[in-house]
Chains A and B, each alone.
Chain A
Amino acid sequence: MPVTVRIPAPLRSLTGHRSEVSASGATVRQVLEGLALAHPGLRERLLDGAGAPRRHLGLFLNDEHLLGPAGLEAPVKDGDQLTLVPAIAGGAPELDEERIARWARQLLVPGFGAGGQERLMASRVRVVGADAVAAPALVYLAQAGVGTLWIDDPELAGPADMGGWLLGPEAAGQPRAAAAVAALAPFSRFVSVEPYPVGGVPTATLVVASSSAQALGAAEAARRARIPHVVLEADGDGGSVVSVPVGAPCYACARLATGSGRPPAPGAAALAALAAQELLLLIADPAAIAGRRLELIRGVSSVRPSARLPGCACHPPAAPGAEPTTVDAEG
């Protein structure tokens, strides 16, 4: 079955400088073996002597990260896309003894484990918004061990940001992003925390925007870039968290209702922790959760799968001959 294999730049000298080649096989292993036969020298770069993927070769079948020798046995079908991603020297650190001890408890949580923690360590997370609502999420993400935390907030810190979670009175008048970077320094031994670099490409995004328009804009940008994202909208002592894995109904579809406009209250901190947890799960195990909306209203929580609004641009392209499958927004 022909699949498209995307070749990274360092290996293109072995594929006639082509960035994409076609190869056939019933499994990922067979595709790689076929590729190696057609392009001498490639096999040694992809597989070790025992036929396992090289330690620093990342394999993605469509959006799924394939791990270890078992990943090579994943079946492929016509039209699949296999992407080879070489680790960059000096890139994500390995889960060594020190890091295992640091995240010992988290490694036991379902959905994490060694592979999940290594995906967190390799991640670049952009957080849009660094106000008092976002603060608990920033602390949570830093302590959970994401590789790089990019904080994106051009506003200046004001009295309302001094929520006690992250920023103190000394931050007043400073740019929120810089103040948050400084405040997270004690948590950043294993994490790089920086202001968001313009043009930086994250691997996941958390949106804690101060306005609905900003949230919709940031979420749509992430969807278009096929970046998994989570959007938090605080509303008084509660609000909602919408998780959008790649290909799931978008935030605009899942949002359904607008908030009451009440300013965030202390209970919103629970929502921020929940949003951070959702994003961590999306990174650690991309298949763990489907698109969903979690609400916290007057202390009562609820969760429901997100559905697509008819006609929304987030609909996946229909397969040839397939019937349209629009789901009612209340479904």
Chain B
Amino acid sequence: MTPVTTLDVRDVACPLTWVKTKVALDRLAVGDLLEVWLRAGEPVESVPRSAEEDGHRLVALEPLAGGPDQAYRLLLQKGTPPPALP
């Protein structure tokens, strides 16, 4: 499966890791794939969790091939966003 967009957030701190991922997802159509490169630690723990909470599907999470140690490749499939308001 080929991602529509690849996003590198290894150089930013939380919460911008998730904010940038969310902005990238906002710009995709439902069903499109987004690849995100993350640092180990808090980003790789919080971004997949936040994405799933927002209704997106976690397709893959694996060490980033050829990248520096402690970096991960996250593949997300855009889902239907939750209703904006009660």
Min Cβ gap A74→B in Å is: 12
Indicate if the CB atoms of B85 and A110 lie closer than 8 Å.
Answer: yes
Max chain A C-beta neighbours (<10 A), residue from B16, B19, B28, B82: B19
Min Cβ gap B37→A in Å is: 16
A107-B85 in contact given A68-B29, A69-B29 (Cβ < 8 Å): no
A247 at the interface (CB under 8 A from B): no
Contact with A along B9-51 (1 / 0, CB 8 A): 0000001101110110011111000000000000000000000
CB-CB < 8 A to B84: which residues of A? 110-111, 281, 285, 288
Partner of A113, one of B18, B22, B83: B22
Indicate if the CB atoms of B85 and A115 lie closer than 8 Å.
Answer: no
Interfacial residues of chain A within 60-106, with CB under 8 A of chain B in the complex:
68-70, 95, 100-101, 104-105
A181–B26 Cα distance when bound, in Å, is 33
A101–B36 Cα distance when bound, in Å, is 18
A318 at the interface (CB under 8 A from B): no
CB-CB < 8 A to A105: which residues of B? 15
Min Cβ gap B5→A in Å is: 12
Partner of B16, one of A100, A110, A285, A289: A100
A108 at the interface (CB under 8 A from B): yes
A114 at the interface (CB under 8 A from B): yes
Interface footprint category on B:
10 to 19
CB-CB < 8 A to B16: which residues of A? 100-101, 104
A110–B27 Cα distance when bound, in Å, is 16
Indicate if the CB atoms of A68 and B20 lie closer than 8 Å.
Answer: no
State the main secondary structure of chain B at its contact with A.
Answer: loop
A286–B23 Cα distance when bound, in Å, is 19
Interface footprint category on A:
10 to 19
Min Cβ gap A58→B in Å is: 15
Interfacial residues of chain A within 287-319, with CB under 8 A of chain B in the complex:
288-289
CB-CB < 8 A to B19: which residues of A? 100, 104, 107-108
Indicate if the CB atoms of A68 and B15 lie closer than 8 Å.
Answer: no
CB-CB < 8 A to A68: which residues of B? 27-29
CB-CB < 8 A to A70: which residues of B? 29-30
Min Cβ gap A80→B in Å is: 22
Contact with B along A19-30 (1 / 0, CB 8 A): 000000000000
Closest to B24 in A: A114
Min Cβ gap A84→B in Å is: 20
A105–B7 Cα distance when bound, in Å, is 19
Indicate if the CB atoms of A115 and B26 lie closer than 8 Å.
Answer: yes
A172–B86 Cα distance when bound, in Å, is 43
CB-CB < 8 A to B30: which residues of A? 70
CB-CB < 8 A to A113: which residues of B? 22-23, 26, 81
CB-CB < 8 A to A69: which residues of B? 29
Indicate if the CB atoms of B85 and A289 lie closer than 8 Å.
Answer: yes
A107-B29 in contact given A100-B16, A285-B84, A289-B85 (Cβ < 8 Å): no
Contact with A along B51-86 (1 / 0, CB 8 A): 000000000000000000000000000000111110
A107-B22 in contact given A68-B29, A114-B27 (Cβ < 8 Å): yes
16 inter-chain pairs at a CB distance below 8 angstroms, sorted by A residue, are A70-B29, A100-B16, A100-B20, A100-B23, A101-B16, A104-B15, A104-B19, A108-B18, A108-B19, A108-B22, A110-B82, A110-B85, A113-B23, A113-B81, A114-B27, A288-B84
Binding site for B on A (CB under 8 A): 68-70, 95, 100-101, 104-105, 107-108, 110-111, 113-115, 281, 285, 288-289
Known: A113-B23, A289-B85. 10 other contacts (CB 8 A): A68-B27, A68-B28, A95-B23, A104-B15, A104-B19, A107-B19, A107-B23, A110-B82, A285-B84, A288-B84
